[in-house]
């Protein structure tokens, strides 16, 4: 037999086998690519997390939480809460929410809970409310009412009132936490160096804002999550538990001071992301 014929015959099955392998690989690649495209196409965009600080704090109090949320792929907006009046602060937050496209998870700390409760009412984009050592007022209730409903708050004795004049000539009162009492009262589980800075940069709240009654709250129609800080000296833990039960909220407790977003950013992020996972 001709040697070249033998070589040709030997190559033919190998060539067929190689061609089949290449075709199988191409098919597998195509299927995998289509599957990946399908998964990407069916993934929903993550909701925007909007963070609202409370009294005696500013947006930097969310820094640790923001880092974790952004690492996990969430768009985040940290709102500068004016802390002037409940109605005015709520109206300002409503304008911020109106500028955001798509679903929103709205989180508030302390007095910020009162603000989000009012601002989210009637907003169809807000899919979940998160309250972090925060107020969940019923219509007509104020922060002052709720903080005094149960024993445990020592905030009153730690405050320093500072009179101011509004642009229309009317008088108001700003409330600060006294610098030498700030750490014990507000953030006992945060380092001394950090609380010294927090005391200097604290944003005052007006006495009128804390005394103003709430409007119809959004937690009656929007699912809510509550993180209770069990070592809180501003809002008594029993008051936080009462408000959470009344709202039918998903509730978590953590051993933390009132400044839970600073001392326990991981726990705060977990609760916010639990709420975000409910958004469809």
Rounded Cα gap, residues 98 and 123, in angstroms:
9
**pLDDT attached to residue 27:** 39
Report whether 237 contacts 228 (CB < 8 A). Answer: yes
Query: Residue 151: which region, alpha, beta or left (left: phi > 0; alpha: psi -120 to 50)?
Result: beta
Rounded Cα gap, residues 165 and 240, in angstroms:
34
Residues, the chain, total? 280
**pLDDT attached to residue 45:** 85
**pLDDT attached to residue 43:** 62
Q: Which residues pair with 228 in a beta bridge?
A: 253
Please report, in tens digits, the pLDDT of each residue of the chain (280 residues total). 444 444 444 444 434 334 444 444 443 444 444 444 433 334 678 999 999 999 999 999 999 999 999 999 999 999 999 999 999 999 999 999 999 999 999 999 999 999 999 999 999 999 999 999 999 999 999 999 999 999 999 999 999 999 999 999 999 999 999 999 999 999 999 999 999 999 999 999 999 999 999 999 999 999 999 999 999 999 999 999 999 999 999 999 999 999 999 999 999 999 999 999 999 8
**pLDDT attached to residue 19:** 45
**pLDDT attached to residue 17:** 38
């Amino acid at each position: 037999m001709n040697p070249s014929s033998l070589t040709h015959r030997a190559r033919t099955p190998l060539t067929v086998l190689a061609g089949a392998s290449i075709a199988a690989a191409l098919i597998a690649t195509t299927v995998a690519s289509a599957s990946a495209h399908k998964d990407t196409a069916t993934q929903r965009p993550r909701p925007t997390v909007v963070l609202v600080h409370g009294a005696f704090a500013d947006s930097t109090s969310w820094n640790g939480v923001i880092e974790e949320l952004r690492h996990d792929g969430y768009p985040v907006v940290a709102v500068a809460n004016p802390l002037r009046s409940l109605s005015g602060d709520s109206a300002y937050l409503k304008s911020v929410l109106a500028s955001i496209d798509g679903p929103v998870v709205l989180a508030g700390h302390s007095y910020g809970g009162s603000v989000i409760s009012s601002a989210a009412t009637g907003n169809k984009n807000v899919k979940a409310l998160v309250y972090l050592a925060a107020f969940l007022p019923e219509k007509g209730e104020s922060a002052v009412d709720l903080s005094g409903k149960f024993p445990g708050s020592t905030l009153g004795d730690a405050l320093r009132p500072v009179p101011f004049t509004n642009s229309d000539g009317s008088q108001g009162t700003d409330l600060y936490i006294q610098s030498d009492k700030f750490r014990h009262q507000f953030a006992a589980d945060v380092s001394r160096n950090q609380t010294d800075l927090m005391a200097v940069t604290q944003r005052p709240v007006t006495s009128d804002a804390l005394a103003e009654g709430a409007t119809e709250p959004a937690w009656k129609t929007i699912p809510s999550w509550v993180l209770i800080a069990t070592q809180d000296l501003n809002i008594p833990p029993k008051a936080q538990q009462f408000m959470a039960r009344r709202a039918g909220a998903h509730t978590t407790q953590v051993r933390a001071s009132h400044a839970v977003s600073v001392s326990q950013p991981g726990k705060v992020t977990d609760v916010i992301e639990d709420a975000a996972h409910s958004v469809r």
